[in-house]
Amino acid sequence: MRKGIHEIVRMYRELSIIRDVVKGIHKLAPRVMKKYGIEKIKIMHVCGTHEHTITYYGLRSLMPEGLELIAGPGCPVCIAPTRIVDEAIELSLNYNVTLLTYGDMYKVPGTKMSLAKARSLGGDVRIVYGFLDAIKIAKKQNKPCVFLAVGFETTQPSVASHVVLRTIPQNLKLLVAYRLTVPAVDYVLNQPDIPLNGIIAPGHVTSITGAKAWKFIPEKYRLPAVVAGFEPLDVLLAILEILKQHLEGKFRVYNEYSRVDSWEGNVVAQKYVEKAFNVVDADWRGIGVIPKSGLELKRMFRNYDSRSMFYIKIDYSIDLPPGCKCGDVTLGKAVPTDCPLFMRGCTPSRPYGPCMVSSEGTCAVWARFGGGGKVKELARILGLNKVV
C-alpha cells in the first residue's frame, strides 16, 4: 500500500523517536562542552522555515543548558535592499505598470512606504504565488508588467528556466534582487564575534545546489554541516549529528534530508541559473555588501530586465529605519527580544523593520509563536527541559 503524503510527514513528527533523539542530545551536549572546555554550544541554521519549525514546536525548550539554536541569514525578504522595494513602489505608482510580487514582499517597508501602501494609493500591485502565475497575468494585460524577483537559490531557477527558454511574454519584465545563501554563510562564519559550533544547512536551497555546496564548512572552518528537512525530527537529528561529529572529531557534510536532497542537487535547475544569470557582489539589507552573493541577468537576456524599459533613479533610500535591529538579528548577533521595538513599535500587523514582515522573518516568527527567554523559563518551571 502506497503511503499518503501526510503519512510520510507524520513519520518525522513521531513522539517516541523524538524523545530518544532529545535524550541523545542531552547526553552528548555536556560531553562536547567538556571536551572543548566551553560553556555554550552554538548551532546556526540559515533558513526561515527552520526557524519556524524550531519556534513553532518549541524545540529550544527541549535543549539542554548551554545549547543555543541561532537563526542566521535565512529570509530573502528581510535582506532585499530597500532600494529595490522603493524602485518597485515607484514603478507601480508612476509608470502605469502592473507590479507582481510574492506575498512576503507585499508589506516590507521601503524608505517611504510598502507595496501594500502603494496599492492603497492606487498603484497596481498584485500578489502571485509563483512565476507561472505572473506569466498568466501578464498574458492577459495589455500594459507592461514587472515581476519583483527576490529569493534564494530555491526560488531562482523557477524564473531562470523561463528566461533561458524565452517563454516570458514581451510585456513582462524582471526586477532582479536575487541573493545566494552559500556565500552568506561563508560571510557569517568569517565574523569573529559570532563563534559557532555547527551549521544546519537549508534543505530546500540544497535541493537545488546539492549538499556539495556546503563542503567548505568542514573544509575551511572545521565545523559540522548538516543538511536538514523541516519537520521537528529533522532538526533534532541535525543537532544530534552535529554533536556526534564533535565527539568523533571528524567533520563532514551530512545529508539528513536524503529523501529530497542529493550530493549533486538539481542539475537541470543549476544549468538554467548559470545560463540566465551572472554572479555579482551584492548588498544585503542591514548587513552590507557580501562578495559574489547576488545574481544579475546576463547581457543576452537584458531585454527581460525592467531596467531596460524603465530608468528609475532612487536618490535616497534608508537601509533600516532608526532603532531597528534587523541586521543583527539576521546575522544571529541579536535575538528579536533584544530589540526595544519588538512587539512595541514593531508588530506583524504594523511592521517597522523587514524581519517582522515575512512569515519567515525571525521577528515575525517569534511574534507569532513566542521565543526567547520566556520559552526556556516556562520549560524549566514545567520540567520539560529535563528529559527522563
Partner 1 sequence: MCLGIPGIVVEVREMTAIVDFGGVRREVDSLLVPDVKPGDYVIVHAGTIISKLDPKEAEETIKAWREVLEAMYEVEV
Positions that interact with partner 1 (CB under 8 A) = 2-6, 8-9, 11-12, 17, 20-21, 24, 27, 47-49, 74-77, 102, 104, 129-133, 150-152, 154-155, 157-158, 161-162, 165, 167, 202-205, 207-208, 230, 233, 237, 256, 258-261, 266, 268-269, 272, 358, 360
Pick the closer one to partner 1 by CB: 4 or 383: 4
Q: Output the CA torsion sign for 89, 90, 94, 98.
A: negative
Burial 249-271 (b: 16+ CB within 10 A, else e): eebebbbbbeeebbeebbeebbe
Q: How far apart are CA 171 and CA 374, in angstroms?
A: 51
> Helices 362-369 & 48-56, crossing angle to 10 degrees?
20
Residue type present at position 216? F
164 CB contacts (<8 Å, ≥6 apart)? 272, 275, 276, 301
- Strands of the 198-202 sheet, one edge to the other: 67-71, 41-45, 198-202, 225-228, 253-255
Q: Give every CB contact of residue 315 below 8 A, 6+ residues apart in sequence.
A: none
What is the Cα–Cα distance from 278 to 281, expressed in whole angstroms?
A: 10
Q: Shortest approach of partner 1 to residue 165 CB, angstroms?
A: 7
State the cell numbers at 108.
Answer: 516590507
User: Is 351 strand, coil or helix?
Assistant: coil
State the DSSP string of 140-199: H-SS-EEEEEEE-TTTHHHHHHHHHHT-S-TTEEEEEEEB-HHHHHHHHHT-TT---SEE
Nine-digit cell at 218?
Answer: 568542514
Taking the least distance from each CB to partner 1, the nearer of 74 and 376 is: 74
- DSSP code for 296: E
Distance CA 343, CA 346 (A): 5
Distance CA 137, CA 378 (A): 49
Q: Is 351 left (phi over 0), alpha (psi -120 to 50) or beta?
A: beta
Smallest separation (angstroms) from partner 1 to the CB of 226:
12
Residues 116/357, Cβ–Cβ less than 8 Å: no
- Distance separating alpha carbons of residues 226 and 265, to the nearest angstrom: 15
Mark 160-193 as b/e (b = at least 16 C-beta within 10 Å): bbbbbeeebbebbbbbbbbbbbbbbbbbbbeeee
